[in-house]
Amino acid sequence: MLFALSAYTVSKSRITEHIYQHYSGTFKLIGEGVARHSGQEREQWLSAIERLSGLSFEAQYFADKQLPDKQLRKLLKDKFLFVVDKELVTSKAYILLPDEQSYLSVQVDDYGTSLVRISAFLMLNELGRHRSEARLEALNRLKELYSYPIELVAMSDLAISASNLRTIKKGDVAVVLNISGATTSNMMAYAPIGNSRFVLKLGMIPLFDWLPLSHLIAAIAFTLVAMATAVFYLVKPIERRLAEVDDKIVAIAQDKEMITTDNAPSDAITKLSNTVDSMALRIQRLLAAQTDMVRAISHELRAPITRVRFQLVMLQEAKQPNQHAQGIEKNLDELEKLIDEVLTFLKLKSHQPELTFEAIDATQLIKQLIKTHAPAHSNIHIDMAINSHQPMLADQHYIFRAAGNLLLNALKYAKARIEIGYQKDADSFILWVADDGPGIPEEQRIDIFTPFKRLDASRARQSGGYGLGLSIVQQIAHWHQGTISVVDSNYGGTLFSIRWPITEVSNAHC
């Protein structure tokens, strides 16, 4: 916008300067010609000028207020005023009349050959009014009015084309254009002086160049500088913000505390920065979880190893070694079970297997669960609650594992009763296990799916387990695009339910 405004102002100023420099003498001669004539003679003289130049003069009065006061004052001072219109397409010249109460206005559409022709005719008219020595004085005065050379040359000395020479011999003005791409284009005008052998030579007269080479170079330089400046001020903040992202990545690599960025603009770099923040937070959580897992595994391993060591000492001193040997075997079984649980959990966390969705009879699945896990808990009564006879769509192996973990968890804490149920609503399959155990406080429910997390260490130690069963259930539910929730059961204990969408598994099944 600023560049366009500057270009407009410069072009307007250059047109005005070009006219004043090369053609102000022309309009002054018209003013003097008007002043020398009056009445009918003035009209005839102006008509002749209009025919020769193709221009149309119009008389206007100061009282009409056609011009602003500032322009009127300039017209009174210089006897001539030139104004370029807003579109830079045409211009108007104003010539003060002798009474200084009126002026002539003329529209100028051509800043080249037309003005040169009328200039030549006016010069011939001025020279024709004088004789011998007075004509030379008039020629010298013309030279003062114009910025370009004016001289008398013998027709025989002209180095012009034959067609231009014929034009001169006919009594017309010949205008010769010299168009050059490397330098400023110009014109030469040749006007015959009556029947004499002399010709009035005008020029070289510069043609108005809308975009001269110097201005073009300046415009390109200005554009390049403006673009470089804009790029600098655009890239600098981006570079600074990318450096901040780089610092975050370095902080992650060096395990240093990372500073998050607030109130950043919403763009691609902010999105990248937020992604790095999320990645760093996830890495920190994974590292923390890994540390907790190693600590928990170490703790879990320490207890059976300590018991094995103790029983080995007792075995050396015992009179009945078989009893202590059985204890050692039991603790080794516990270690093997722990290792198996850890490996299973790590396998489930490391990658998502390719699930095989199939129609499963819920009744048969629950009966198989009870048959597998109930015999070891004969004091617990297990009910079945099948609210829908439509089969569930799931991966049989993993859904059996998830439901089995929920049942085992309920068997650990139930007092006398457990309910296993299934239903299908409009958009979901739901499988649940409820017990009449002590329940889980609401504020602690968020922690029960954390690996190796025990809400009550003494109760957990008594009931067994390693805190991995519910984490595995949560992972399997996630693979089925579902969720696991925990609420109070109707029996006073806890109800765990797995819910997964029909649409997701149906699409996967297809």
Query: Does the CA dihedral 236-237-243-247 come out positive or negative?
Result: positive
| Sequence spans of domains, the chain | 1-111, 112-210, 232-351, 357-509
For residues 103 and 97, the answer to whether their CB atoms sit within 8 Å is yes
Global pTM value: 0.46
Interval 279-292: pLDDT, tens: 877 777 777 767 66
Query: For the segment 323-378, what is each residue's pLDDT rounded down to a tens digit?
Result: 667 667 776 776 777 677 767 766 666 667 788 899 999 999 999 999 998 888 88
pLDDT of residue 238: 81
Cα–Cα distance, 147 to 489 (Å, whole number): 107
Token pair for 434? 């409820």
Going by pLDDT thresholds of 50, 70 and 90, the confidence category of residue 463 is very low
List Cβ neighbours of 477 (8 Å cut-off, separation of 6 or more): 402, 483, 484, 498, 499, 500
C-alpha 56/C-alpha 249 separation (Å) is 77
Predicted pLDDT at 349: 66
- Superfamily per CATH, domain 357-509: Histidine kinase-like ATPase, C-terminal domain (3.30.565.10)
137-141, 327-331, 455-459, 500-504, range with greatest mean pLDDT: 137-141
What residues contact residue 164 under an 8 Å CB cut-off, 6+ apart? 174, 176, 190
pLDDT in tens, 143-158: 999 999 999 999 999 9
Tell me: pLDDT of 63 over 70: yes
State percent of the chain over pLDDT 70: 81
80-124, pLDDT tens digit by residue? 899 988 877 788 999 998 888 999 999 988 878 888 988 999 999
- Encode pLDDT of 203-253 as tens digits: 899 888 776 666 667 778 888 888 888 888 888 888 887 887 888 777 777
Rounded to the nearest integer, the mean pLDDT of the chain is 83
Give the residue-averaged pLDDT of 177-187: 74
Tens of pLDDT, residues 246-301:
887 777 777 666 666 666 667 777 888 788 778 877 777 777 767 666 666 666 66
pLDDT of residue 323: 63
Q: Who has greater pLDDT, 10 or 108?
A: 108
One-letter amino acid at 431 equals L
